[in-house]
Amino acid sequence: MLQYLHMAAKDLETIVALCKRRGFLFPGSEIYGGFGGTWDYGPLGVELKRNIKEAWWNDMVHRRDDVVGLDAAIMMNPKVWEASGHVESFADPLVECKTCHERIRADQEDVIKLHEEGHRTNKEEVSWTAPRNFNLLVKAFVGVVEEAERPIYLRGEITQGVYVNFRNVVDSVHPKIPFGIAQVGKAFRNEITPGNFTFRSREFEQMELQYFVKPDEAEGKKWFAYWKQARMDWYVSLGMGKEHLRFREHAPDERAHYAKEAWDIEYHSPFGWKEFEGIHHRADWDLSRHQKFSGKDLTYTDQESGEQYTPWGIETSGGADRATLFFLLDAYDEEGGGDDRRVVLRLHPRIAPLKVAIFPLLANKPALIEKAQSIYKTLKHEFVTAWDARGNIGKRYRSQDEIGTPFCVTVDFDTLSDNTVTMRDRDTMKQERIKIDELVRYLHDRLS
């Protein structure tokens, strides 16, 4: 694996423009003027995000013996959210501008400052209402008669699906503590000020692990430290610059209502150090509350010792959309200038949306097209493969560099006589001749 130079994008606008132009991300419902805090993933964005989620699932579930997966419903009995404490405590402080009535999160000083500057520039007064708590749960109605139904909440965190299924998982697969339940899925929050592209959205995806341990201080400490480091190492293993990541501990008054201890992994983005993933010590908050509200036994019995207890949950909670954005920002690199300017997304091969592109050197030579097409069909069975026969070859390389395709294969006249192709590496731009028979193995070795 190459050691990448971690340049990272210097401004968010560059990435926003690239995402729109190349089909990574579009504003949600764009033809109707958009819908605040929602984003649609285009043909390349959906591949990148899927690859991130798949890499997470592989490393967190398939490659481990102590973690199983789950996919719970988004719509849940409203009692879940009373038990979890979200109806009462899942809120952000909100202030309203008395001049234009815009509502902003009271703790977002930079947004408030910008807003005040706008009014002052227009020689307008600016003052705010006192902060009040605004609940972030998104309400919905289910049933045929709206008024007759109790509102439900779209899940504000994917977590609760795991806790309400704790008994089901224990009774069906009999895991031995310590063990984890992993889940990936959508969550919804009525964010007061969504922004910074997908960073804070109203609909987003989370990748979470709830890891159950004995309710014991030493055990809790040990596994908390383990998961904190494991999650940081995971981002680095996928090529993210170490120097762009750091830990930050939550102060007691900052912690979510369920957390006994909380740390963030933060990313150094163009808009400052920002939360990337949270590691939370939830202790027995969730299981005890659901036990109390549902009246069901959610304890665990150790089959060997006969010990019975309510386990503690150590949580790792990352955002798939945030990861997609931060991987894009971190991978972005520009080289050269003028006609030699090269934009390259140095994405790790595991998450790159397209793995290989294949080009016939000239688009008007049937023999080259035919040969290239036959290789394309073989590669397409094995890898996500692009075909491009437009424009000069240099431009085609640049076009693939900009979307992070690790390898390009060119079929030229020599191919017709010696059955070799040119393999070009995105990062080094080095080219080498490879036998067609060896292509699949060559790529497997480098992409896995």
Regarding 206 and contact with ligand GAP (CB under 6 A), the answer is yes
Buried b (16+ CB within 10 A) or exposed e, 358-369: bbbbeeebeebb
Candidate ranges 143-151, 201-209, 396-404, 431-439; the one touching ligand GAP (CB under 6 A) = 201-209
Residues that contact ligand GAP, how many (by CB under 6 A) = 18
| Binding residue (CB under 6 A) for ligand GAP from 178, 185, 220, 318 | 318
Regarding 313 and contact with ligand GAP (CB under 6 A), the answer is no
| Binding residue (CB under 6 A) for ligand GAP from 47, 157, 261, 333 | 157
> How many Å apart are CA 181 and CA 179, to the nearest integer?
7
Regarding 193 and contact with ligand GAP (CB under 6 A), the answer is no
| Binding residue (CB under 6 A) for ligand GAP from 277, 330, 388, 401 | 277
> How distant, in Å, are the alpha carbons of 34, 39, 40, 198, 249 from that of 29?
5, 8, 8, 14, 37
Q: What is the DSSP letter of 74?
A: S
Q: How far is the CB of 343 from ligand GAP (least distance, A)?
A: 26
For ligand GAP, the binding residues in 404-433 under the rule CB under 6 A are none
* Identity of the residue, 202 or 355, whose beta carbon is nearer to ligand GAP in the bound complex: 202
Candidate ranges 137-145, 174-182, 228-236, 310-318; the one touching ligand GAP (CB under 6 A) = 310-318
DSSP states of 162-204: HHHTHHHHHHHH-PPSSEEEEEEEEEE---SS-BTTTTB-SEE
Tell the burial category of 311 from Cβ atoms under 10 Å away from its Cβ (0-12, 13-18, 19+).
buried
| Binding residue (CB under 6 A) for ligand GAP from 84, 183, 201, 405 | 201
Please report how the helices 320-331 and 12-22 are oriented relative to each other, as an axis angle in degrees rounded to 10. 100
Q: CA torsion sign, 111 to 185 to 23 to 406?
A: positive
Regarding 189 and contact with ligand GAP (CB under 6 A), the answer is yes
> How many Å apart are CA 432 and CA 418, to the nearest integer?
14
Regarding 275 and contact with ligand GAP (CB under 6 A), the answer is yes
| Binding residue (CB under 6 A) for ligand GAP from 47, 92, 321, 401 | 321
Q: What residues line the site for ligand GAP (CB under 6 A)? A: 157, 159, 189, 191, 200-201, 204, 206, 208, 275, 277-278, 315, 317-319, 321-322
